[in-house]
Structure 1
Amino acid sequence: MNFLKGIGIGIANVIPGVSGGTMAVVFGIYDKLIECIANFLQASMKKKMEYVKFMFPLLLGCGVGILFFANVIGYLYENYPVYTKGAFVILVLPSIPIIIKGENIKDIKNILSFAFGLLFVVAFFMFTHNLEGNTFTKQEFFTIAYGLKLALCGALAGGAMIIPGISGSLLLLALGEHENVINYIGNIEIIPLLYFGVGVGIGILIFTKIINYFLQNYRSKTLFVILGIVIASLIELLINI
């Protein structure tokens, strides 16, 4: 089952405007995913094996989703953007109440946290909208300098991937590297993918540490921030359909 969920997360990560983190919330594994990544290095051997058992099929599925569906999703997004985005919105909507199940929706701090999540997405999309379409440069030759840039973009995208509602692909689009990365994946170009993959791994590790801290210490408020982010991102998708 985690393998199939991983495929769903992987597919979501290659669609600009769609978030793999949101899919993890939809599948009910977001908390566990954050815990596994954030605590793996310092966990006991028994706990490490538990994390590996959970994560391995998920990561395998995610890799399959990205490698085998990148070109398909790219085609669907390019030729049928309304249906592609609409299918994602329909899939996510039923999961929204689950995010804050059992939480106090009248608490003023939770309401403010929800508002912060909304405003965060507004600021993110304003930033990406200002850059989108102006920065893409097709990379003809691979250099170490470009590899370092690719790793940095990967770190930023990896951090974005782990936040529900924030699209790592959209951020790559704004940074001018989405088409290059999709081409590298489609053509299985190992060297640039290694640089990008290392960057993604670093970004995911850093952001999961931060998110896990807030989930452990400010769980209710963090869930409402996530709710605000998810709802705002869905509204943005609907506006652009």
Structure 2
Amino acid sequence: MTAADQKPQHEAALSEQTASNAEIRANADIAQQPDSRQPGRSSNNAPSGMTHDVINVVRGFCMGAADTVPGVSGGTVALILGHYQRLIGAIRRIDSDAVSMLFKGKFREAFDYVDGRFLGALGLGIGTGIVTLAGLMHWLLDNRMPETFAVFFGLIIGSAWIVRKFISAWSPAGVIAVVAGAAAAVAIGRLSPTDGGGSLAYLFFSASVAICAMILPGISGAFILLLLGVYHPITGMIKELAKGQVDANALMSLGVFAFGCLFGLLAFSRVLHWLLHKHKDVTMAALIGLMLGSVEKLWPLQMPTPETASLKMKERVMVSVPPGEWDGSLVLLVGLAIGAAVAVLVLERLGEAFQANHPNENVG
């Protein structure tokens, strides 16, 4: 073979080697880039400025505020504000892979994997909302219950109207899911609160159950706590903590309660994530049913029975009455309900505008 024949072959081999090296470098770069299929690794989750962080803190604050009210769900707020699926997806990623990264010292990778920036901002807002408003909700439920219930009645109705848009196609199964969800919410709402238990194990159990309700639109985690008899003790501890009155036993109880919430959240989020991805329409229909069924408990026209009228609000037995038997201002309650529903619709419009400018914000 002549030198002239060898030259093209040499150039071809050199070109092939260069291409191979370029491919290796490209693969290495790809391996270091975020995975767009994962909620915590999308390009959207790179540091995006204080604007996104502030928005997520506000979202969390709204969720925390809702979760302090028996009858209202923080999950409903997450749906309205457009970050529900991203939240469930991020929580689901707190798994063995994330723990493995931590043990290997890959803290940044673990933080990105679980969408840590999003969860951190949201968690800060939720905690702030709960601590800030626990005392206020105590006062409102004790002194302005009809007006408070009217507002949340309107919020739930407006929310259910919004959530219907998440269903791409209605089916007989979807209709059945709505009816079943509504029936379940009504049945839960008619349960009688218990006196609860004072043990730490009971607190852990109550927190695990209630947190599952808190991330389900339509089921109030606060109301579940009320049914289990731990709502007033827990919110009372939080109110005292916010005042700077720290008690060792209260801190222990709140710590156990927090671990119970974490356990329930991690376990239930996987089930919910699977349902939303495999059976989204039916799942959303069931959530609408839960929301509609929950309004029975939030009927604003409630009066205490004669036997309990002189007791504290948390000790009273309330019964619903028709508008004709209500001795308060119906116009005020109707106005509050309508105003709340309109506020939800306006908030949803703002959320749509934000999503249009940030299409990856709700990745789940």
Which category describes the TM-score, using the shorter chain as reference length? 0.7 to 0.9
Equivalent position of 2:153 in the other structure: 89
1:173-188 to 2 correspondences below 5 Å:
173-188=226-241
Equivalent position of 1:75 in the other structure: 139
**Structure 1 184/46 Cα, relative in aligned 2: closer, same or farther at 3 Å?**
closer
Rounded to whole Å, the distance in 2 between the matches of 1:169 and 1:216 is 27
Rounded to whole Å, the distance in 1 between the matches of 2:300 and 2:155 is 17
Name the count of aligned residue pairs. Answer: 230
Equivalent position of 1:228 in the other structure: 289
Residue 135 (structure 1) aligned with residue 189 (structure 2): no
Post-superposition offset of 1:223? 0.7
The C-alpha deviation readout for 1:52-99, integer Å capped at 9, x for no partner, is 122111110000011121101111111111111222233343333332
Greater C-alpha Rg = 2
1:43-122 to 2 correspondences below 5 Å:
45=109, 48=112, 51-101=115-165, 103-104=167-168, 106-122=170-186
Equivalent position of 1:39 in the other structure: 93
Q: Secondary structure at the match of 2:71?
A: coil
Residue 238 (structure 1) aligned with residue 299 (structure 2): yes
Residue 217 (structure 1) aligned with residue 271 (structure 2): no
Which consecutive residues of structure 1, in runs of 5 or more, have no partner in the other structure? 140-145
Q: After superposing the two structures, state which structure 1 stretch, 21-30 or 70-79, moved more.
A: 21-30
Which consecutive residues of structure 2, in runs of 5 or more, have no partner in the other structure? 1-54, 102-108, 242-249, 303-364
**Structure 1 191/102 Cα, relative in aligned 2: closer, same or farther at 3 Å?**
closer
Q: After superposing the two structures, state which structure 1 stretch, 105-114 or 225-234, moved more.
A: 105-114
Q: Secondary structure at the match of 2:211?
A: helix
**Structure 1 149/235 Cα, relative in aligned 2: closer, same or farther at 3 Å?**
closer
- Give 2:93's aligned amino acid: N
Does the CA contact (< 8 Å) of 1:40 and 1:48 recur in 2?
Answer: no
**Structure 1 177/68 Cα, relative in aligned 2: closer, same or farther at 3 Å?**
same
Report sequence identity in percent: 27
Rounded to whole Å, the distance in 2 between the matches of 1:216 and 1:154 is 26
**Structure 1 237/124 Cα, relative in aligned 2: closer, same or farther at 3 Å?**
same
- Give 1:58's aligned amino acid: L
Q: Secondary structure at the match of 1:176?
A: coil
More helix by share: 1
Residue 206 (structure 1) aligned with residue 267 (structure 2): yes
Equivalent position of 2:220 in the other structure: 167
- Give 1:118's aligned amino acid: A
**Structure 1 167/102 Cα, relative in aligned 2: closer, same or farther at 3 Å?**
closer
**Structure 1 6/219 Cα, relative in aligned 2: closer, same or farther at 3 Å?**
same
Which 4+ runs in 1 deviate beyond 4 A?
Answer: none
Post-superposition offset of 1:102? 5.9
Q: After superposing the two structures, state which structure 1 stretch, 150-159 or 38-47, moved more.
A: 38-47
Residue 20 (structure 1) aligned with residue 80 (structure 2): no
The C-alpha deviation readout for 1:32-55, integer Å capped at 9, x for no partner, is 111111123347938835711221
Name the TM-score, length of structure 2 as normaliser.
Answer: 0.59
Rounded to whole Å, the distance in 2 between the matches of 1:147 and 1:82 is 34
**Structure 1 147/240 Cα, relative in aligned 2: closer, same or farther at 3 Å?**
farther
- Give 1:232's aligned amino acid: G
Q: Over aligned residue pairs, what C-alpha RMSD do you find? A: 2.2
**Structure 1 224/46 Cα, relative in aligned 2: closer, same or farther at 3 Å?**
same
Q: Which structure would you say has the larger RCO, counting Cα contacts within 8 Å and 6 or more residues apart?
A: 1
Does the CA contact (< 8 Å) of 1:161 and 1:204 recur in 2?
Answer: no
**Structure 1 236/179 Cα, relative in aligned 2: closer, same or farther at 3 Å?**
closer
Post-superposition offset of 1:160? 1.4
Equivalent position of 2:206 in the other structure: 153
